[in-house]
Structure 1
């Protein structure tokens, strides 16, 4: 769903998109050739909709730390070896005062997490491949935007067109 100024707002369900279009609160910008039929209406399935009136996006100052957020930020890549990450690791271990913050958590593969244990990367002779930081981009606030459809690419400035 796009705001009236064509900036991405959120990813909405198919049902919500249909309701917004039929109620006149949004118009279809891109659709799929799969028809949606009701007793009195027939239209193509909406893929991208734009609101007819501008809404002020919510201002969020701080992104809550979560396991899912850390994995998303690091793109499921281990901060130590670069392999596929499915766990998270405290750079400074919790037993040594490490906190649950964006700056102290990295995505980590199970093997590196087990080998590192209760040590710091310096003690292990390891270097972090990334500098952990809080996400700052506005697209971070759009839920499920990393799983975009090909039709959305021209509307998402950060999308990589393959």
Structure 2
């Protein structure tokens, strides 16, 4: 399903929507098209024809409470680590706690990394020092405007880059 980036009236990114929902907002005159689809796709009905939107903006400002920390989810963690194992660099399928929870490690961004199955099973509940392993990168909580998107289906459409680079209001 094609996704459309939704911007607030102040051009700050809010979420991604399905194309169907975006068209409903446009037809009900609650949003305006900011950027059309780069492939030239067109939607047609019996009474009107218009270009498929890639980015839309709400006509009225919607107040969104500021989130101080991005919620830790499996999908967000995998996206942060680019689906790569923090230990060997192979494709990651699981998450691992650097300091195992059995040894008092917290379930936080700073203690969780993406891991491949073999590394996760080999590490088990051991500390990195016990195995002589090192992390390729230091785990940290993600920051930036694109992490504040409410929708979980942010796919990083290159056409959205100029709108995600704007500073948040």
Under a length normalisation based on structure 1, what TM-score does the superposition of the two structures give? 0.85
Cross-structure match for 2:9 = 4
Instruction: After superposing the two structures, state which structure 1 stretch, 27-36 or 99-108, moved more.
Output: 27-36
For residue 137 of structure 1, the aligned residue among 113, 137, 144 is 144
Residue by residue, what CA displacement relative to the aligned partner does 1:2-29 show, whole Å, maximum 9, x if unpaired?
A: 1222222211111111111111111112
- Distance in 2 (CA, whole Å) between partners of 1:58 and 1:93 is 33
Pairing 1:28–2:36 present: no
What does residue 3 of structure 2 align with?
none
Describe the superposition over 1:69-123 as per-residue Cα deviations: whole angstroms up to 9, x where unpaired.
Answer: 2212211121112222111111111221222222211111112112212211111
Mapped partners of 1:95, 1:13: distance in 2: 41
Alpha-carbon distance in 2 for matches of 1:101, 1:151: 32
Provide the TM-score with structure 2 as the length reference.
0.82
Q: Partner residue of 1:123?
A: 130
Alpha-carbon RMSD across the aligned residues, in angstroms, is 1.9
2:95–2:114 contact (8 Å) kept in structure 1: yes
Gaps of 5+ in 2: 1-5
Equivalent in the alignment of 1:16: 21
Residue pairs, 1:143-154, within 5 angstroms: 143=151, 144-145=153-154, 147-154=155-162
In the alignment, the residues of structure 2 paired with residue 29 and residue 84 of structure 1 have an alpha-carbon distance, to the nearest angstrom, of: 36
1:111 and 2:118 equivalent?
yes
Greater RCO (Cα-Cα under 8 Å, separation 6 or more): 2
